[in-house]
A and B are shown apart, each in its own frame.
Chain A
Amino acid sequence: MRDFRRLFSSFFKVALRREMAYRGTFIAGIIGQWISYGATFLGIYIMVSSFDILGGWNGSEVLMLYGLSVMSYAIGASFFYNFSRGLASRIRSGEFDASLTKPIHPFLHEVFSAGYNVGYISHFTVSLIIMAIALRSISFTPTVQRVLFLILGVLGASLIQGASLIAASTMSFFTVGNNPIADFLLWDMKEFTNYPITIFPKGIQFVLTFILPFAFMNFYPAAALLGKAIPEGYPAILPYLSPLVGALVFALSILLWNWGLKHYKSTGS
């Protein structure tokens, strides 16, 4: 465990230095992300509050959904984005094969050497600020239990985000071309969870709960926190299961990755 920590911290320092080499770019990038994510937050708020309510949630409450989604993405992607997006090109160039010869598991070596992505600090800060404002405006009283629940929920959600990045990268073992399934998993499906899933037909609610469980990333924890209704007939315990679901899909994604690794044939370059 101590080795693990030492390894992580030295890889972390390298990543931070790499980003800070272009300080101006780094800051301009963070401001750009604030504007672009801020625009989506603003759009969602204007949209919902012009109609007062969306599926039983008001504007500030719907902001919590996108807030949780962006914050957990910031955490999950800061660990796994470089790894996930870089794997295909590392396989193509043959660099990946070096990972197979290292004294730690290839997955860990890939994650560590791809590096921690410091840039996600922008996603994290913008979602933190928006959620704080949203919770204030609905006069949410923070108790120890509620704050603890929120933190656990964010952790579970981050595991789900990490799992989808890992699962998406598995495709690289089979095809070296571009990876449209990754875009589907990472962007198209997640777009549903920007709004309460109760506004969608039953089939979509089912998929987002039991097949690709993105609803546990924000909808269920937020519903528990704000006392909102979940889809009719679903077990009342679901809103509290995010950390569990997160751990489960994360483990599954690593199993999937290892299964892909077993079928990997080097390009020989």
Chain B
Amino acid sequence: MRKYWLVFKKSLKSELTYRAAALWGIVGAGLSFLIQIFLWQALLSTGVRNDTSFPDMLLYVLINSLVLQLTRANVAGVIETAMIDGTISMELLRPISYKGYMLAHTLGKNIYGALTATLPILLLSLFFLSGAVLPDLVHIPLFLLSALLGIALKFEVTYLAGLTAFWLQRCWFIRFYLTGLSSIFGGTMVPIWFYPEFLKTLSYWLPFRYVTFEPINIFLMKTSVEQAWVSILAALLWMIGLSIVDKLVWRAATKKLTVNGG
């Protein structure tokens, strides 16, 4: 465990040197959040839908942005570069699991940016959240559990997709597939409860809705306690299934890996 903590701290520290980048990250996140505020104010003022309140949507956007920032990772890109310059052979020699290393590295890299970008918009949204209904004492632990699982699941999917880098010549495009699919089937842009039926049904067959959509539903108490356990169980099953797959893929990848020089 201490080894992973070291990796986490090292990648956090190297992020801390980019003060200007963090500052502009805050500006960018603030502007995006402002757009969402005006957008949902305009949409909700039409009065067409009464299943969604303005504080609901603010919390929706807030939790989504925090989780997505925290799990943003370019595993394929890292593997690609490491294969081209040969450092992959060094990384494989380390007495540490590559997946654990990637996870610690990703979290360390993202946590600073995610927190600095979320804190200002959290403060900003306090002005608008007066009418918000906060979750009760049963839903809070359920939310935390499902959000943690969501973060783990998002990493798992990104990691598994990233492993395909071992077989591809170039892989800058993998993240476009991931963001596209998680936006459609994970409801990261529009809540799935607005979706037409067939898309809603389809989303149950993929892991993406368990990353942020289900945790948010629990936080907003749109999910009953029994349903919450069902969604947590589904996320857990996805985790287990994908972990088995990634072990098999990893074994095949390291078997075929040839490093040219380096």
Task: Find chain A residues with CB under 8 A from B21 CB.
Answer: 178, 180
Given A25-B170, A38-B180, A199-B39, the answer on whether A184 and B49 have CB atoms closer than 8 Å is no
Q: Measured between C-beta atoms, what is the minimum distance from A123 to chain B in Å? A: 11
Which residue in B20, B32, B48, B173 is a CB contact (below 8 Å) of A188?
Answer: B32
B145 part of interface (Cβ distance < 8 Å): no
Question: In the complex the two chains form, is A33's CB within 8 Å of B38's CB?
Answer: no
Q: In the complex, which residues of chain B have a beta carbon less than 8 angstroms from the beta carbon of A183?
A: 24, 28
Main secondary structure of the interface of B (DSSP, over half): helix
* Residues of chain A within 8 A of B43, CB atoms compared: 47-48, 51, 54
Q: Enumerate chain B residues within 8 angstroms of A29, measured Cβ to Cβ.
A: 172-173, 176
Given contacts A43-B190, A180-B24, A188-B32, contact A36 B18 (CB under 8 A): no
Q: Is the CB of A51 within 8 A of B46?
A: yes
Quick check: B179 and A46 within 8 Å, CB to CB? no
CB nearest neighbor in A for B39: A195
- Does A89 lie at the interface of the complex (its beta carbon under 8 Å from any beta carbon of B)? no
Cβ contact within 8 Å between A191 and B176: no
**B78 on interface, CB distance cutoff 8 Å:** no
> Which of B99-107, B134-142, B181-189, B246-254 forms contacts with chain A?
B181-189
Quick one: which of B38-85 are within 8 Å of A by CB?
Answer: 38-39, 41-44, 46, 48-49
Interface size range on A against B = 35 or more
Within 8 A of B (CB), among A187-233: 187-189, 191-192, 195, 199-201
Chain B min CB distance to A50 (Å): 4
User: Is residue A132 contacting chain B, with contact meaning CB distance below 8 A?
Assistant: no
Across the interface, name the chain B residue whose C-beta is closest to A24.
B169
Closest to B44 in A: A51
Q: A51-B48, A191-B32 are in contact. Are A36 and B42 (CB under 8 A)?
A: no
For residue A126, give the distance in angstroms from its CB to the closest CB of chain B: 11
A17 to chain B, nearest CB (A): 16
* B194 near A46: Cβ-Cβ < 8 Å: yes
Q: Which of A41-96 contact B (CB under 8 A)?
A: 42-43, 46-48, 50-55
Is residue A7 within 8 Å, beta carbon to beta carbon, of the partner chain?
A: no
- Determine whether the beta carbon of A55 is less than 8 Å from that of B42: yes
Chain A nearest CB from B222 CB (Å) reads 16
Indicate whether A148 reaches chain B with its CB closer than 8 angstroms: no
Task: Give the distance in Å from the alpha carbon of A195 to the alpha carbon of B170 in the complex.
Answer: 35
Any chain A CB within 8 A of the CB of B196?
Answer: yes
- A52 to B46: give the CA distance in the assembly, Å: 8
A251 at the B interface (CB under 8 A) = no
Whether A191 pairs with B35 at a CB distance below 8 angstroms is yes
> Nearest CB to that of A21 among chain B residues?
B169
B259 interface hit (Cβ, 8 Å): no
Q: How far is the CB of A46 from chain B (nearest CB, A)?
A: 5
B28 touches A40 (CB 8 A): no
Nearest B residue (CB) for A187: B28
Is B128 positioned at the interface, with any CB of A under 8 Å from its CB?
Answer: no
Q: Within 8 Å CB of B20, what residues of A?
A: 177, 180
The digit string for A159-187, where 1 denotes a CB below 8 A from any CB of B, is 00000000000000000011011011001
Residue B27 interfacial (CB < 8 Å):
yes
Q: Identify the B interface with A (CB < 8 A).
A: 18, 20-21, 23-25, 27-28, 31-32, 35, 38-39, 41-44, 46, 48-49, 168-174, 176-177, 179-181, 183-184, 189-190, 194-196
5 more CB-based (< 8 A) A-B contacts, given A22-B170, A43-B184, A51-B43: A25-B170, A42-B184, A51-B44, A51-B49, A184-B28
14 sample A-B contacts, Cβ–Cβ < 8 Å, listed by A number = A28-B168, A28-B173, A32-B173, A32-B174, A33-B173, A39-B181, A43-B189, A43-B190, A51-B43, A54-B43, A54-B46, A180-B24, A188-B28, A199-B42
Q: Using a CB–CB distance below 8 Å, which chain A residues touch chain B?
A: 22, 24-25, 28-29, 31-33, 35-40, 42-43, 46-48, 50-55, 177-178, 180-181, 183-184, 187-189, 191-192, 195, 199-201
